Amino acid sequence: MAPSPEPLSARTRALGLSLPPGNPRARELAAGWAARYADPVQRVQAALRLFGSAPFGYTLRPPPLGTQQIDSFLFETQRGFCEHYASSFVFLMRAAGVPARVVAGYLGGEYNPIGRHYIVRQADAHAWAEVWLEGRGWVRVDPTSAVAPSRVEQGLDAALGGQDAGVWAPSQEAGWLRNLRWAYDGLTYTWQRWILQYDRGQQDRLFGDWLPGIGLGQLLMYGLATLSLLALLPLWLRRRRMDPVDACYAQVCRMLARHGCERGPAEGPQAFAARVASSLPHAAPAIHAFIATYIGLRYGAMPELHRAVQLVKLHAAARGVATSLRKRRKRDTAAGAIRSI
């Protein structure tokens, strides 16, 4: 028989029911559940039925939300990823009188058949919720599973479709490159498991049986030299292919240079944007929007999922700059034609 959970303290209960101001429609919906269902489990099920209804969908490219973000997501956009569903579910539960909290961690991973282990990356980050139920304690609830069961059961790649699939880079990885990555990761994992995690006595016995005549110091030196060379391989590959954020920024800089605004060698993005906006006032809004997104990507710390979404926004902002510059060129051409007449 499982032991009874510890009682919920008054402070933890207050934290589990606290809500920010605003979002009246979500509050009204949750208050209706609280009045209709005496059992908190029924309120949880009502929220899951809401997310399981047809309008809701899973995407890494959610539309922008309004100032009342919970209301905007629940009643307008109805498309998002795990953080949208976990946070809105917790809001509804707290408004319905059920203590709840958001939990962040990792879900899934990639099996490496070469090293025979699982690889868990930042792309496997996931958010779910926990609700407090009397007699049971904190109980896990994943509202994303009501919207996209494949995200929980099979991983992120299985939940994406259409244009979203392009955001998830490993799904587009070539087979030979994946095998090379698996081999490198397997080598690193094997080294950590069989060498670094053993004490000196175990290492001496291991190498004495496998490699008689070679000292431990020599083997470590050869191994470190090999790992150092392998560690330089990703850097070499990265140099051959420019970072997508830098590539997009360089493209916009070349575009602006053709319109008489060439960036100086030591000119930062903000100073460059201010100068370009002064010289090309018609394109100022588009340029400022692009630079703001670029600075967030280049210098800000964010999860990989958010970074993928922001990279899409960066390319959209670059297209906005190109559009504003083309409009100016058309106006200048038309003005020149009128003057020639």
Which secondary-structure segment (H or E) carries 278?
helix 269-279
Cβ within 8 Å of residue 58, ≥6 positions away = 79, 80, 81, 144, 147, 148, 151, 159, 160
Q: Which of 126, 164, 248, 261 is catalytic?
A: 126
For residues 145 and 155, is the Cβ–Cβ distance under 8 A? no
Angle at the Cα of 252 from the Cα atoms of 246 and 258, rounded to 5 degrees: 135
Q: Is 142 a catalytic residue?
A: yes
Cβ within 8 Å of residue 165, ≥6 positions away = 157, 171, 172
Which secondary-structure segment (H or E) carries 57?
strand 57-58
3-state secondary structure of 140: strand
Separation in Å, CA 215 to CA 37, 108, 221, 225? 72, 40, 10, 16
3-state secondary structure of 309: helix
Q: Is 82 a catalytic residue?
A: yes
For residues 327 and 282, is the Cβ–Cβ distance under 8 A? yes
Identify the CA nearest to 270 among candidates 288, 252, 283, 282.
288
Q: Is 126 a catalytic residue?
A: yes
For residues 159 and 153, is the Cβ–Cβ distance under 8 A? no
For residues 250 and 257, is the Cβ–Cβ distance under 8 A? no
Q: Which of 71, 124, 142, 164 is catalytic?
A: 142
Sign of CA dihedral 159, 162, 163, 169: positive
Catalytic residue numbers, as ranges? 82, 126, 142
